[in-house]
A and B are shown apart, each in its own frame.
Chain A
Amino acid sequence: MELKFSQEDLEFKKEVRQFFENKLPADIKDRCERGLVIPKEMQVRWQKILFDQGWMAPNWPVDEGGTGWSLTQKYIFAQEAAAACAPPPMPFGVNMIGPVLIKYGTEAQQQKHLPNILNSDTWWCQGYSEPGSGSDLASLKTKAVKDGNDYVINGQKIWTSYAQYADMMFCLVRTDPDAKKQEGISFLLIDMNTPGIEVKPIIGLDLNHTLNEVFFTDVRVPIENLVGEENSGWTYAKSLLEHERSFIARVANSKQLLVRLKQIASTQRIGDNLLINNPDFRRKLTAVEIDLMALEYSELRFLAKQMDGGQLGPEPSIMKLEGSQIQQRLKKLLVESLGMYALPFDADARADESDYLAMGPEHAHGILDQHFYGRSATLVGGTSEVQKNVISRLLMKR
């Protein structure tokens, strides 16, 4: 057992830290630190800086544009990125569809899409969920029927994050209505500019527009946009969900929230004292800090297990479950830290229209946006209830 960075790791850490210090634009850092939605322009600007540095896709193979970092180096990078308040790359391209194409895509698909994912010229969205198919994703109904060289798509997706910006969607469709539900699903790449696609906004609790409904009416998608084999889409989709789950603990991000919470509590007055000295507040802060520490050591332990070639079972689900709860507790404590100034909320989207930004402490701006959106942490990527089902099913099987 060993829990020390090597000399090279420490050098690497310095290099990474310096990169963020020098290259992360201040306007982007500010929004990220506040937990506000990052507009597309900022997101792309930042991802292109990462690309220029060669650091856009640490998880890809070196040949495809990956960094060749060790797991420890990837861990260091994630820590430093979050500590610097750098927005993580949009996951749909680089973390989700990229690895699927690398593993299952045709040569032509890889050549066409991977470079544009790396340099962020193409914005992707994830078309999985449907009105009738959320937790029970495999029941999805959006239909694809072969007609000549195309699939013709009819149906609806929902909760499609950032579809309003997207150039491409990776999408699950039903190609065999008669097969067992997991076995009639195919995985398609769809150009969002194809006629017959309509994107309608859904406004969230945070009053922002990140969610959408996407309607398909006789949308023609060339057969060459099928990933892997027809009716095997569920396998690819699951490989991607597992990827999503193991990254969703967001330890590094929670550590940054904790830093911010302490900063704010150290300026927030409570009579002639500071909130950070209030024993009730401190006890809650400490409790979540300790839980976060356990989460982090678990992440390290599970990473090490993978490095040694071990197979993971319920661990990713445990990380998702614990990690999402810790995120929500931290965001709630940020709200609590504001006292009565937690009440005003005109949402970032409308803030300019009222005196909201002129009221209360400067750091209050963004905390409620982040808190409300953060309620989804226990829903996306498999809800907490579903994670518990997965975990207990795996345990009972043993």
Chain B
Amino acid sequence: MDFKYSQEQTMLKDVVDRFVADNYSAEQRATLANTELGHSDSHWQTFADMGLLALPFAEALGGMEGSAVDVALVMESFGKGLVLEPYIPTVILAGGLISTLGNDQQQASLLGNIMAGKMKAAFGYCEPQSRFNPADVETSASPAGSGYILNGHKSIVWHGPSANKIIVSARTSGTPRSKEGISLFILDPNAEGVTRLNTRTADGQGASDLLLENVQIDADDLLGEEGKAYPAIERALQAAISAVSAEAVGAMEATNEITREYLKIRQQFGTALSNFQSLQHRTAEMYSEVEMSRSMSEALAMRLRDSDNDNNNDSHIGDEDTLPAQTTAATKVRIGKAATFIGENSVQLHGGIGMTNEYVIGHYYKRLMMIDILFGDQDYHSRQYEQLIYG
């Protein structure tokens, strides 16, 4: 048992921490968020140069062979600065799917471009009726010639606006909510028949809805085997939940630090707010929420790393009887609860200043609130967890 980082991991963490400290002050972030792109292509190139865009991919493909633990430590640093670049959608979701399902040709061309920072990508798996269920796919893909015709509506594609390619799920067979019969396609968002509606999410990141009307897809752009994509989707979402949980831990820690500093400085009734016991208790609770979250996040990252490496559950401390899916659901629930508590209380403890767009705490609050919803909220994942136990 060991919760320490290796020497290489400590080095990686230092490099990313330094990047965030240098480039993601509140002012720098606000300036970036207000640009049309909403993030920085030059930062993206820096990520490529640092090897972050190659982190989770196999060495044989030109990657760094990093694990979920490595990704988590990067994401935690990103969370501290509320980094805006589309790392999870491009590297973890789209990249993860291509590296598990792609054929040689797809891996070479797409992953090569992603690792070089030349391509951003996204994953469209939600639909208006699907809420958080990735098996709920009504978008259809019918065979046409050697390829397919897509029709349907993919919703809230995270970082869709800046994506050069979007992987979308569509049904090639089976009933609407069946896990069987789901296929993945590599979509050019500028293809004929695609309407991409773009907006920002509350935390300043991009999101798109895709309206697909008789969109023609070449056979070459089918990702993986027809109708068999669900397990890979589930696996990619687990990796994304692990990444976003680590991000939340970083963001919560920063939120708590900023809040405690504010309470020490802000004077009311002739004394610092930090001298009021009710507020001291609140900060203690907020602190304890992050600690619980960090434990879950780190355990999940190790769990996913080890289940990638070998499938023997028995060897995993604390997890002997559970599946990675269960740890994932539990982590998302616990972190959603903590993120909500910390986000809302950080605004409350700041008073009026916490209600402004200019001051930084509101942006942490919004990101934490979005993370609670992203990839499924507490209700959804509690049900997932229950189902794994009770069926």
Contacts and interface: CB of A to CB of B under 8 A. Distances in A.
Interface of A: 129, 132-136, 139, 158-159, 202-205, 207, 211, 269-272, 275, 278, 280-281, 336, 339-346, 354-356, 358-361, 368, 372, 375-376, 378-379, 383-385, 388
B177 A271 contact: yes
Contacts of B199: 344-346, 354-356, 359
A361 B153 CA distance: 13
B362 A344 contact: no
Contacts of B354: 375
A47 to B, nearest CB: 26
A375 B353 CA distance: 12
A4 B175 CA distance: 54
Contact of B357 (A207, A356, A378): A207
Given A203-B358, A385-B279, A388-B278, A134 B268 contact: yes
Contact of A341 (B156, B267, B362): B156
A71 to B, nearest CB: 33
A343 B355 contact: no
Given A202-B358, A205-B366, A355-B197, A379 B267 contact: no
Interface residues of B, number: 48
B268 A135 contact: yes
B352 A158 contact: yes
B356 A385 contact: no
Contacts of A129: 352
B201 interface: yes
Among A132, A204, A341, A344, find the residue whose CB has the most chain B CB atoms closer than 10 A: A344
A368 B347 CA distance: 16
Contacts of A376: 352, 355
B297 to A, nearest CB: 21
Interface in B361-391: 362, 365-366, 370, 373-374, 377, 379, 382-383
Query: Considering the complex of A and B, which 7 residue pairs feature the smallest CB-CB distances, nearest first?
Result: A355-B197, A345-B202, A269-B129, A136-B268, A280-B379, A343-B201, A339-B131
Contact of B278 (A133, A136, A270, A385): A385
Contacts of B269: 135-136, 139
B278 A203 contact: no
B305 interface: no
B23 interface: no
A360 B383 CA distance: 25
30 contacts: A134-B352, A135-B268, A135-B269, A135-B351, A159-B352, A202-B356, A203-B358, A204-B355, A205-B357, A211-B352, A269-B128, A270-B131, A271-B129, A271-B131, A271-B177, A336-B377, A336-B379, A340-B155, A341-B156, A343-B207, A345-B200, A346-B199, A354-B200, A355-B197, A355-B198, A359-B199, A360-B156, A375-B344, A376-B352, A378-B348
B207 A344 contact: yes
Contacts of A205: 347, 355-357, 362, 365-366
Contact of B348 (A159, A346, A372, A384): A384
B287 interface: no
Contacts of B177: 271-272
Contacts of A281: 379
Interface of B: 126, 128-133, 136, 155-156, 158, 176-177, 197-202, 207, 209, 267-270, 276, 278-279, 344, 347-348, 351-352, 354-358, 362, 365-366, 370, 373-374, 377, 379, 382-383
- A interface, over-half SS: mixed
A358 B126 CA distance: 17
Nearest to A283: B379
Given A205-B362, A368-B202, 6 more contacts: A139-B269, A203-B356, A204-B356, A344-B207, A359-B199, A375-B355
B351 A383 contact: yes
Contact of B352 (A139, A359, A379): A379
Nearest to A137: B268
A388 B155 CA distance: 44
Among B279, B348, B352, B379, find the residue whose CB has the most chain A CB atoms closer than 10 A: B352
A340 B352 contact: no
A346 B355 CA distance: 17
Among B129, B136, B202, B377, find the residue whose CB has the most chain A CB atoms closer than 10 A: B202
B174 to A, nearest CB: 14
Among B128, B133, B158, B270, find the residue whose CB has the most chain A CB atoms closer than 10 A: B128
Given A203-B357, A359-B209, A340 B200 contact: no
Given A204-B355, A207-B357, A360 B155 contact: yes
B132 A339 contact: yes
A343 B352 contact: no
A340 B131 contact: yes
Given A280-B379, A343-B201, A343-B373, A211 B156 contact: no
B209 A340 contact: no
Contacts of B279: 385
Nearest to A203: B357
B264 to A, nearest CB: 16
Contacts of A355: 197-199, 209
Nearest to A328: B344
A296 to B, nearest CB: 25
Nearest to A136: B268
A280 B383 contact: yes
Contact of A211 (B201, B202, B355): B355
A274 to B, nearest CB: 10
Contacts of B276: 385
Contacts of A360: 128, 155-156, 209
Contact of B382 (A211, A269, A280): A280
A270 B379 CA distance: 13
B373 A340 contact: yes
A203 B209 CA distance: 28
A340 B276 CA distance: 39
